[in-house]
Amino acid sequence: MSRKIPWIEKYRPRKLSEVVNQEEAKKALLDWINSWEKGKPSRKAVMLVGSPGTGKTTLAYALANEKGYEVLELNASDVRTGERIRQIIGGSMKMGSLFGFRGRIILFDEVDGLNVREDRGGLAAIVELIRESTWPIIMTANNPWDPKFRELRDEAEVIQLKPLRENDILTILRRICNNEGIKCEEDALKLIAEASGGDVRAAINDLQAAAEGKKVLTKDDVTVTERAHQFDMFKVLDKVFHARRFDEARSVTFLPSFDWENYYPWALDNIPSVYAKSIEAVSDAFDNLSLSDVVKGRITKTQEWELMPYMLELMTAGVALVRNKPPLPRFARLSFPERIRLMAKTKEIRQLRDALINRLRVELHVSSSEVSLYYIPLLRLMATSDTFKKKLLERLMKIMGYSLESVEKTLGVGGVNTSGEGEGDQRKSPKRPGG
User: Per the annotation, where are the binding residues for ATP?
Assistant: 50-57
Q: Helices 82-92 and 122-132, interaxial angle, to 10°?
A: 20
Enumerate the known binding-site residues: 50-57
- Calculated CA dihedral for residues 105, 110, 113, 118, nearest 10 degrees: -20
In angstroms, the CA 39 to CA 97 distance is 20
Selection from 166, 154, 165 nearest residue 192 by Cα: 166
Helix axes 200-211, 186-196, angle to 10 degrees: 140
**Contacts made by residues 412-417, CB under 8 angstroms, sequence distance 24+:** 412/380, 413/380, 413/383, 413/384, 416/346, 416/349
Q: Which of 423, 395, 249, 258 is nearest to 321 (CA)?
A: 249
Single-letter code of the amino acid located at 101: F
Beta strands 45-49 and 137-141 are parallel
What is the Cα–Cα distance from 299 to 115, expressed in whole angstroms? 33
CA distance 377 to 431: 13
Centre a 10 Å sphere on the Cβ of residue 88 and count the other Cβ atoms it contains: 13
E strand or H helix that includes residue 398 = helix 389-400
Sheet of 103-109: strands edge to edge? 69-75, 103-109, 137-141, 45-49, 156-160
Query: Cβ contacts of residue 184 below 8 Å, gap of 6+?
Result: 173, 174, 177, 211, 216, 217
Local structure of residue 253 (DSSP, 8 states): G
